[in-house]
Amino acid sequence: MALLAAVALLVVAGTLVTGTGPHAGDSSDVPRMPLNWTVMAWLHAAAAALALAIALALWARTRREPRSTAHRRTTLFLAVFLTQGLIGLTQIATGLAEAVTVAHLLGSALVWVGAVRVLLDTRPSARRTAPPDRPSTQASRSCCA
C-alpha cells in the first residue's frame, strides 16, 4: 500500500509540474498554475526517490522467493520505473522536448498500473509461487483416466 501511495503522490506532483511548465496549454495565452515550476519539479523528484526506496524494499523482501509472482512483478515494476526515470532525465536534458514529454506521460500510466499490480501481488492473500514447470503426476493421471 505504501508503494501505491508514493506513486499516487508522484503522479500528482508530476501533474503539477506539467501544469506549471511550458506544456500546460496549447499556447502561451493559456494561464499556468500559479506555482513555481522548479519547486514542483524538485517535489516530483523527491516523490520519485520515495517511491523508488519503497519499491527496492519490496523487491528485497520478495527476493527470498525469486520464482514468486510478487518478486517477478516487483522486478518488472523496477525496470519500468527506472526507465521512466531515464525518460524524465532525458526531458530535462532536451529542454522538455514534446515527444519525450509524451513518452513520460505514457510511462506514468505504466508506472501507475505497475504499482497497482505490485500491490495486488504482494498482499498476504496473494502470496503464491509461480506455477510449476510441469503438471503434477496426479493431475496428469486424472485428466487422462
Angle in degrees, CA 76, 72, 127, rounded to 5: 130
Closest CA to 2 of 61, 83, 43, 45: 61
* Average pLDDT estimate for 65-75: 88
- Whether the pLDDT of residue 137 is over 70: the answer is no
Q: How confident is the model at residue 64 (pLDDT cuts 50, 70, 90)?
A: confident
Counting residues of the chain whose pLDDT is more than 70, the rounded percentage is: 80
Amino acid at 79: A
- What's the pLDDT tens digit per position in 12-60? 999 998 888 776 665 667 677 788 888 999 999 999 999 999 999 999 9
* Average pLDDT estimate for 128-140: 52
Closest CA to 76 of 48, 130, 118: 118
Domain range summary for the chain, segments of one domain joined by + = 2-127
* Average pLDDT estimate for 81-85: 96
Rounded Cα distance between 48 and 5, Å, is 12
- Whether the pLDDT of residue 145 is over 50: the answer is no
- Whether the pLDDT of residue 121 is over 90: the answer is no
Q: Cβ(7)–Cβ(111) under 8 Å?
A: yes
- Whether the pLDDT of residue 144 is over 80: the answer is no
135 φ, ψ to 5°? Answer: -65, 155
The rounded mean pLDDT for the chain is 84
